[in-house]
Amino acid sequence: MVQIRQSTIIDAPIEDVWSILRDFNGHGRWHPAIAFSEIDGGEPVDAVGSVRHFRLADGGELREQLLALSDKDFRLSYCLLEAPLPLMNYVASIRLKPVTDGNATFWEWRSEFHPPAHRRDELVKLVTEDIYQAGFEAIRNLLRERPAAVPLQARSPVVAMTPSAAVPRIASTIFSGQAAKTRAILVERYGGPEVLQLKDIALPPPASNEVQIRHTVIGVNFIDVYCRTGYFDLLRPPGVPGMEAAGVIEAIGSEVSGLSAGDRVAYACPPVGAYCERRNMAPDLLVRLSDDIPDETAAASLLKGVSASFLLHDVHAVQPGSVVLIHAAAGGVGQLLVRWARHLGAMVIATVSSDDKARIVERLGAHHVIVYSRENFAEAVMRLTSGAGADVAYDAVGNDTFGGSLASLGIRGHLVSFGQASGPVGNWDIGRFASKSITISRPNYAHYTDTPAKLSPHVERFFAALRQGVVKIEPPRRYSLSNAGDAHRDLESRRTTGALVLVP
């Protein structure tokens, strides 16, 4: 038997490092050796017993089972079930410890296994260097490249704004003991879904420039997960997550005009704080709902719909006959992009990670669906377009797909990188883009939506598309507000395809 023990210091708080490592499926996003990973059977990513099935960059496929996970001890262990290499009886564990003088993290990765004698040195070197040391470096880079307040978005759109003045005010009133209270999901420390706890928090009357909204349905987006784990500091504990909701105005401040109590409204914007029964907020970015838009539809789709609108019309104006490549097409924004791009007359090539998702996207009307875990999508795009390539690629996957997206583009193609679910895209030499005169965009949700003048055309266009049936919003999966943790577990496990909402 050989024992391997590797350890390092990561210059980041233990909660930040743990929030990445505790996701048993997350290695597909950050470890350079891994091309693709998914959890078998849609088990939650932190469920002991769940099995991750992943593929290496060289094509080898492995399955590993989670044996233990402790958020208290910052520890998890797992074993290998299937591998293309004789790492017999491989059992490994990851353990974090805080370095209290300096806010850094000690990370130890150890394992034991029984290699055949003649391959012992080779396998020890592989595990030590290519898996553990490369993993240390990848996490170090990931945390270094992560700007504190600028979200790196994933399957739902990018919402980037510096925390507004309203955030500390919410936090500071939580324990102020005022008479008026509301039920809210309070994050008192960054962590897993279990930190989403229902609490009573203070709710003062709206300030002169605010309205008070009673939420009826609250949207759940992947950015809420990043707020919960501390990946983005849009939320600073203690705070209430959530960027999207629909509801009814119950009270208005003295300086507010144009809105009145009883109005039905929705919003999709910072500051965080939507996971609650009632909240106060500035009215600038509220959207008044007409009678034919149900609250549930608005809460499930406004953020995603507005994103799809500016991606297809402003960031790149999709024309009839355009060849459009859409990654993560079964995701929230992806589904809207597929339907909408098709409506605009484009030829839609969609990529997904599994056969189940492929069937969903086919039903949405994609002309071609590629399961990118199985097929080289860049080659497929070239084949489908007789070598002409795509006019535009919508890529929220990031690291795993960025290079392939570039390769899929035709002359004067446009790569729209609006998220990085699989990790940052790294450094690219733009000189090489001249070979096809490629244009790259990295849009930020806030820059297209942070004033009423910018936001309203997208809202109107999205609602019009809904009314005309251009896009459809499937009934979202509903959770009670108190079960927000379950909603996050399901979202993170990647077993969901449509939208998720919370009902107070």
Partner 1 sequence: MTKIYVSSVIPAPAAEVWKVVRDFNALPGWTPFVTESRIEQNAQADQIGCIRNFVLRDGGRIRERLLALSDYDLSCSYTILESPMAVENYIATLSLTPITDGNLTLAEWQADFDCAPEREAALTHQIGTGVFQAAFSALKQRFGR
By CB under 8 A, tell whether 102 contacts partner 1.
yes
Pairing state of beta strands 104-114 and 75-82? unpaired
Q: How far is the CB of 110 from partner 1 (least distance, A)?
A: 10
By CB under 8 A, tell whether 6 contacts partner 1.
yes
Q: How far apart are CA 147 and CA 418, in angstroms?
A: 16
Which uninterrupted H or E stretch holds 402?
helix 402-408
Q: How far is the CB of 109 from partner 1 (least distance, A)?
A: 9
By CB under 8 A, tell whether 435 contacts partner 1.
no
- For residue 347, CA distances in Å to 116, 310, 350, 413 come to 52, 19, 10, 14
Q: Are 410 and 391 in contact (CB under 8 A)?
A: yes
Q: Are 75 and 110 in contact (CB under 8 A)?
A: no
Site string for partner 1, 40-79 (x = CB under 8 A): ----------------------------------------
Indicate which single residue of 2, 48, 108, 112 sits in contact with partner 1 (rule: CB under 8 A). Answer: 108
Contacts with partner 1: how many residues (CB under 8 A)? 16
Q: How far apart are CA 176 and CA 188, in angstroms?
A: 15
By CB under 8 A, tell whether 439 contacts partner 1.
no
Q: How far is the CB of 231 from partner 1 (least distance, A)?
A: 24
Q: Are 308 and 341 in contact (CB under 8 A)?
A: no
Indicate which single residue of 100, 254, 257, 386 sits in contact with partner 1 (rule: CB under 8 A). Answer: 100
Q: How many CB atoms lie within 10 A of CB 504?
A: 19
Residue closer to partner 1 (CB basis): 13 or 457 = 13
Residue closer to partner 1 (CB basis): 6 or 173 = 6
By CB under 8 A, tell whether 124 contacts partner 1.
no
Q: How far is the CB of 134 from partner 1 (least distance, A)?
A: 12
By CB under 8 A, tell whether 3 contacts partner 1.
no
By CB under 8 A, tell whether 106 contacts partner 1.
yes
Q: Are 303 and 210 in contact (CB under 8 A)?
A: no
Stretch that binds partner 1, among 24-32, 82-90, 98-106, 487-495 (CB under 8 A): 98-106
By CB under 8 A, tell whether 98 contacts partner 1.
yes
Which uninterrupted H or E stretch holds 56?
strand 51-56
Stretch that binds partner 1, among 5-13, 314-322, 341-349, 370-378 (CB under 8 A): 5-13
Residue closer to partner 1 (CB basis): 99 or 124 = 99
By CB under 8 A, tell whether 112 contacts partner 1.
no
Stretch that binds partner 1, among 7-15, 77-85, 333-341, 469-477 (CB under 8 A): 7-15
Stretch that binds partner 1, among 96-104, 236-244, 281-289, 431-439 (CB under 8 A): 96-104
Q: How far apart are CA 223 and CA 154, in angstroms?
A: 8
Residues contacting 196, CB < 8 A, separation 6+: 185, 187, 228, 241, 275, 484, 485, 488
Q: How far apart are CA 504 and CA 308, in angstroms?
A: 27
Tokens of 424: 């940052």
Hunting for tokens 């995701």 — which residue is that?
A: 331
Tokens of 423: 């990790």
Tell me which residues touch partner 1 (CB under 8 A).
5-9, 97-102, 104, 106, 108, 133, 136
